[in-house]
């Protein structure tokens, strides 16, 4: 492991994943990797519910990581991979919350309500076709929603306080020469300087905005229903 992403989801973690892979520091482990291979959902659920993680096994074949669920364990990963550099992606806290609450938090909040009939039917079909992926809400609660936010993701002030406290804690824990606090709007410059690599001759990737996030879900569900993964 060469790079550990400590930033919360919706802070440009997908863009950072693409950037790291462009720079030759991939494959990069991201929540999208978990969704693409639902067997990883069960693995993270075991970790989230207290199982002893084998980090080398979890990240076998990967050279970097960004996003949740890995970012929930940034301390453990920084200790386990002492030579790895740490990148803390950041953005304006209020804008971050607005983005999170209409994407990743929206799904978690929906779990607390009685779903419409069509959503319940889809859920049952997914559960039959992909029992590992059916554990995703439980895994998300164990590794992110409860672990990081005490389950209070509908409490804006609380969540923003946690977000800001996280940034403070990472800065206080990781030595400055090992840490980059990075807003993806800054582009290649600070990232390449921190990693000691040349700046690519292409635009910095900007991926997974809110519209793209919502477009992905139907494709994921269709794939699970067809392939049974």
Closest CA to 45 of 140, 145, 131: 140
Closest CA to 61 of 96, 21, 92: 21
Strand order in the sheet with 28-29: 28-29, 64-65, 3-5, 85-89, 179-182
Percent of the chain scored above 90 by pLDDT? 72
| Cis, bond preceding 69 (omega within 30 deg of 0) | yes
Q: Taking each helix axis as running N to C, give the angle between helix 13-22 and helix 188-195, from 0 to 180 degrees, rounded to the nearest 10.
A: 60
DSSP alpha helix (H) spans, 23-145: 31-36, 39-48, 55-58, 74-80, 93-101, 104-110, 117-129, 136-140
Instruction: Give per-residue pLDDT as tens, 27-50.
Output: 999 999 998 888 999 999 999 999
pLDDT for the residue numbered 28: 98
Q: What angle do CA 162, 30, 81 make, to 5 degrees?
A: 80
pLDDT-based confidence at residue 186 (cuts at 50, 70, 90)? very high
pLDDT-based confidence at residue 219 (cuts at 50, 70, 90)? low
Taking the mean position of all CA atoms in its chain, how far away is CA 144? 9
Q: Is residue 60 predicted with pLDDT exceeding 90?
A: yes
pLDDT-based confidence at residue 177 (cuts at 50, 70, 90)? very high
SS3 assignment, position 65: strand
pLDDT-based confidence at residue 141 (cuts at 50, 70, 90)? very high
- Matching residue, tokens 């009939």: 117
First to last CA, the chain: 27
Burial of 198 by CB count in 10 Å (0-12 exposed, 13-18 middle, 19+ buried)?
A: exposed
pLDDT for the residue numbered 109: 73
Instruction: Check if the beta carbon of residue 90 is closer than 8 Å to that of residue 167.
Output: yes
pLDDT-based confidence at residue 114 (cuts at 50, 70, 90)? low
CATH topology of domain 3-227: Rossmann fold (3.40.50)
DSSP assigned state of 177: G
Cα 28 to Cα 99, 171, 186, 229: the distances in Å are: 23, 23, 20, 21
Among the listed ranges 12-21, 176-185, 212-221, which one has the minimum average pLDDT value? 212-221
Domain locations in the chain as residue ranges: 3-227
Instruction: Check if the beta carbon of residue 78 is closer than 8 Å to that of residue 173.
Output: yes
Distance CA 104, CA 106 (A): 5
pLDDT for the residue numbered 153: 94
Predicted TM-score (pTM) of this structure = 0.86
């Amino acid at each position: 492991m060469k790079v550990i992403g400590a930033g919360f989801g919706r802070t440009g973690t997908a863009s950072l994943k693409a950037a790291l892979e462009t720079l030759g520091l991939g494959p990069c482990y991201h929540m999208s990797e978990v969704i693409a291979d639902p067997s990883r959902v069960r693995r993270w659920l075991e970790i989230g519910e207290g199982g002893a993680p084998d980090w080398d096994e979890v990240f076998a074949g990967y050279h970097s990581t960004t996003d949740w669920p890995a970012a929930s364990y940034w301390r453990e990963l920084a200790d386990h991979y002492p030579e790895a550099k740490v990148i803390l992606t950041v953005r304006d806290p209020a804008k971050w919350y607005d983005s999170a609450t209409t994407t990743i938090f929206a799904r978690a909040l929906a779990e607390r309500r009685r779903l419409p009939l069509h959503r319940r039917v889809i859920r049952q079909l997914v559960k039959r076709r992909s029992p590992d992926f059916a554990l995703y809400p439980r895994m998300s609660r164990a590794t992110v929603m409860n672990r990081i936010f005490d389950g209070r993701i509908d409490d804006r002030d609380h969540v923003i306080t946690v977000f800001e406290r996280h940034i403070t804690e990472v800065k206080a824990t990781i030595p400055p020469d090992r840490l980059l606090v990075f807003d993806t709007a800054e582009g290649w410059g600070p990232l390449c300087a921190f990693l000691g690599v040349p700046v690519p001759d292409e635009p910095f990737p900007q991926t997974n905005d809110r519209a793209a996030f919502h477009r992905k879900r139907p494709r994921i569900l269709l794939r699970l229903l067809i392939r049974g993964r």
